[in-house]
């Protein structure tokens, strides 16, 4: 009698594992949205693609600064803070910038452009020959904040507002100004 009980437990465990595996496969996207689960998989060496959901831009930290250069052109310097939401160190994402006008706030002025986060530099911003500072190649520690700077030299006229969203573009794409 006891021998048949042992066989039932084996079958019960097999069925339980099959149901759990099927549930994971059917709900894969929901599991991948779980930050703890993603962090755990990355820590054990599973190569998962970076996702925009792994980051959060703190809205209260965004400070735009319009600078008029010596030649009359305008540039936009944006300071802010971004948070790594995963429990693993991550390289900085690119930030997708979309501009909007005051007259038509629901329509974008131009296509969204992904910008690299730059190293802070205040020198020579007013000179028309100034180029973008170097790209910030920092790794953001797990569950921490990182200050960022974006410098945009070509901003559409009539810009009244903008949005910033983290994006994961491939390295083979051209780097915008």
Written as one string, the DSSP assignment of 140-173 is EPTT-EEEEEEEES---TTEEEEEEEEE---TTS
62 shares its domain with 138? yes
Q: How far apart are CA 29 and CA 152, in angstroms?
A: 35
In a domain, 47, yes or no: no
Residue 16's domain spans which residues?
A: 2-33
Domain total in the chain: 2
> According to the model, what pLDDT value does residue 175 have?
43
6 shares its domain with 88? no
In a domain, 176, yes or no: no
90 shares its domain with 153? yes
In a domain, 77, yes or no: yes
In a domain, 67, yes or no: yes
In a domain, 87, yes or no: yes
> Counting every residue, how long is the chain?
177
73 shares its domain with 121? yes
Cβ neighbors of 109 (< 8 A, separation 6 or more) are 99, 100, 101, 156, 158, 159
In a domain, 96, yes or no: yes
What CATH number should be reported for the domain holding residue 162?
A: 2.60.40
In a domain, 173, yes or no: no
pLDDT class of 144 with cuts at 50, 70, 90? very high
> According to the model, what pLDDT value does residue 177 have?
43
156 shares its domain with 95? yes
59 shares its domain with 131? yes
pLDDT class of 124 with cuts at 50, 70, 90? low
**Residue 145 near residue 117, CB atoms below 8 Å:** no
Residue 17 sits at φ, ψ, to 5 deg, of -65, -40
113 shares its domain with 72? yes
In a domain, 39, yes or no: no
Mean pLDDT, residues 147-163: 83
> According to the model, what pLDDT value does residue 125 have?
57
pLDDT class of 55 with cuts at 50, 70, 90? very high
22 shares its domain with 69? no
């Amino acid at each position: 009698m006891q021998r048949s009980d042992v066989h039932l437990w084996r079958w019960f465990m097999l069925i339980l594992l099959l149901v759990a595996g099927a549930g994971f496969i059917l709900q894969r996207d929901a599991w991948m949205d779980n930050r703890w689960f993603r962090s755990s998989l990355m820590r054990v060496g599973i190569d998962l693609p970076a996702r925009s959901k792994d980051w959060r831009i703190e809205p209260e930290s965004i400070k735009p600064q319009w600078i008029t250069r010596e030649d009359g052109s305008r540039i936009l310097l944006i300071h802010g803070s971004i948070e790594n939401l995963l429990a693993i160190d991550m390289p900085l994402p690119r930030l997708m910038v979309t501009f909007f006008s005051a007259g038509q706030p629901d329509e974008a002025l131009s296509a969204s452009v992904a910008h690299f986060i730059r190293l802070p530099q205040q020198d020579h911003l007013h000179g028309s020959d100034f180029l973008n500072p170097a790209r910030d190649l920092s790794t953001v520690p797990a569950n921490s904040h990182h200050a960022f700077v974006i410098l945009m030299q070509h901003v559409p006229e009539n810009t009244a507002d903008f949005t910033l969203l983290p994006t994961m573009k491939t390295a083979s794409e051209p780097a915008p100004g």
